[in-house]
Structure 1
Amino acid sequence: MRKSTIGIIILSIILVGAVIPLGFSAVDNQQIVITYGEATHSNANYKNTVDDFFVNQAGVDLNTVDSKIITADEVNKISSSITGRTYSPSQIYSSALVDLNDNDNLEVSVDKSKITTITGDMYLSALKSVGITAGHVYVTSPVTATGESALAGIMNCYEVVTEVEIPDTVKEAANNEIYTEAEIVENSNVSADDLSKLVDDVKEEVQEENVTDHQTIVNIIYNYTIINNINITDSDIENLANSIEQIQNVQGDIDTYQTEVSDVFNSTDEAQGLLDGLFN
């Protein structure tokens, strides 16, 4: 009887090893990744400030969490094609932590005392545009920053944890959405929250109706500015329309990425269920 029990345990271990996908394990912190802005990581005081925020907000042991550095080159690869701006290594402060242990829904927590322009809702909207619908994202900076460059780090976190690469076309569309909203907030009287709601409403209608015509998207945006009593310029409306149109044009890439990520999550859930059953 003893030999039989040992045999079952060994077989169970083999089966568990076979079904858990690479990159995931029973250790929760392997589903948590931090990305530090280049300037933050190179300054011990800055890094400690950011680490304190992550520990207090996410309740994680940073000694067991993987981390990466987001460089100016990585940010510029995206931003230069959208805004024409380039950043130096000393300007990349924004840092992010992504926790996929709770993958039932997507939540974003932003350090409002440091991130001055991009709100949690803006990150949330941009990530949903990519096809990301799960995880808890935390964003902060050791000094005041707009938060625009943080999206590159957030998406990098998802790639590290899931081992699924986000297509460049999708990254560019999501970042364009963030940069466009940031520019409008900085140059107009509209609040970030009001603009974020406007964009969400427009995107929802555009996606439901599968609208790809530029002028139709412009008209939808204009209608929502009237409904929500938001005053933005015709140029702002054009820029928003271009951003939303770009997201619509890469929807095929978004769907492919979302399917691959869903397969990873489903495999993980199945493996965890088998683990629970075996050890019970």
Structure 2
Amino acid sequence: MRKSTIGIVILSIILVGMIIPIGFSGQIDPVVITYGETTNANADYKNTVDAFFKNQANVDLASANTKIISASEVNKISSSITGKTYGSNQIFSSALVDLNDNAKLQVSVDKSKITTITGDMYLSALKSAGITSGHVYVTSPVTATGESALAGIMNSYEVATSVEIPDTVKEAANNEIYTQAEVVENSNVTSEEVSKLVDDVKETVKEENITDHQTIVNVINNYTIVNNINITNSDVENLATAIEQVQNVQGDINNYESQISDVLNNTNGTDTSKGLFDGLFG
């Protein structure tokens, strides 16, 4: 089992926004904010998070759709990742998704609080889920690595569009984030180097339609040589598994994108989510 690197504070967002209306409503909810219950219950914490969103997103928070995630909801799936359980005083991290700003996918990370996962890592993993538009903001009132925020971000997209992302797609994208974080911890490389490596490999794998694990390993090794990146054999294997998993859920991604197209085509008189989901690798 892969060694967990997730701290208490970054598991807080993993189930953010899980109560989602599924189906084709033809309605777009352009701004969604997700709060951990600890943050929501603490005025200072919530003010800190809101201040970041107001400063960065420039949206009316009062009109945003908001969701609160509880410790019990986090614990439903935390055991499959860390084996830990969390109390109601340990659910912190928050995210905002703005579909009004949709020319291209952007991610703004509060670097003073999110210490490991970069904006580029979120971008890469979101594109692996088929999401290529909207502006995402990630923060926490306390220090967090940010590994688990991707699940909350994707759930925010579900809230915004009322269309569920397949579990297989969520799992593949989240596995990509966890794997990249683990590589950063295990090897003497930066988050930026790992993110670029994964993007380069995914592009090659996509273009050549590679699904064989060993071939993906070879592609990774080639790029580590070209870019002078030194990572362990174990990290190479884990990255290959994560990228292979993304390739193997292409059918689910295509079906999801078809559903999204139905929603967007039936949204009368709004351009809010035009081009929202454009493809796997952007």
TM over 0.5: yes
Which residue among 27, 30, 37 is the counterpart of 1:23? 27
Q: What's 1:197 paired with? A: 196
**Gap runs ≥5 in structure 2:** 1-23, 272-282
CA distance in 2, matches of 1:76, 1:168: 17
Q: What's 2:228 paired with? A: 229
Say which is worse superposed, 117-126 or 255-264, in terms of deviation: 255-264
CA distance in 2, matches of 1:233, 1:266: 47
CA distance in 2, matches of 1:50, 1:40: 8
Q: What's 1:58 paired with? A: 57
2:26–2:263 contact (8 Å) kept in structure 1: no
In the TM superposition, what whole-angstrom CA distance separates every residue of 1:163-210 from its partner, at most 9, and x where no partner exists?
100111111111111111111112221000010000000011111111
**1:79 deviation in Å?**
5.1
CA distance in 2, matches of 1:79, 1:204: 31
Q: What's 1:262 paired with? A: 261
Change (3 A) 1:103 1:260: farther
| Secondary structure, aligned partner of 1:271 | coil
Task: For 1:1-280, list aligned pairs within 5 A.
Answer: 22-24=26-28, 30-78=29-77, 80-81=79-80, 83-89=81-87, 90-268=89-267, 271-272=269-270
In the TM superposition, what whole-angstrom CA distance separates every residue of 1:124-171 from its partner, at most 9, and x where no partner exists?
000000000110000011011011121111011100110100111111
Residue 231 of structure 1 aligns with an amino acid whose one-letter code is: N
**1:92 deviation in Å?**
3.1
Change (3 A) 1:155 1:60: same
Provide the aligned C-alpha RMSD in A. Answer: 1.9
| Secondary structure, aligned partner of 2:269 | helix
**1:237 deviation in Å?**
0.3
Q: Output the TM-score relative to the length of structure 2.
A: 0.82
Residue 54 of structure 2 aligns with an amino acid whose one-letter code is: V
Between 1 and 2, higher relative CO (CA 8 Å, sep ≥ 6) is seen in 2
**Gap runs ≥5 in structure 1:** 1-19, 25-29, 274-280
**1:80 deviation in Å?**
3.9
In the TM superposition, what whole-angstrom CA distance separates every residue of 1:217-273 from its partner, at most 9, and x where no partner exists?
1100111110111010000000101111111111110111122223333443x6237
Q: Output the TM-score relative to the length of structure 1.
A: 0.83
**1:72 deviation in Å?**
4.1
Structure with bigger gyration radius = 1
1:99–1:135 contact (8 Å) kept in structure 2: yes
More helix by share: 1
CA distance in 1, matches of 2:41, 2:92: 10
**1:31 deviation in Å?**
0.8
Give the number of aligned pairs.
247
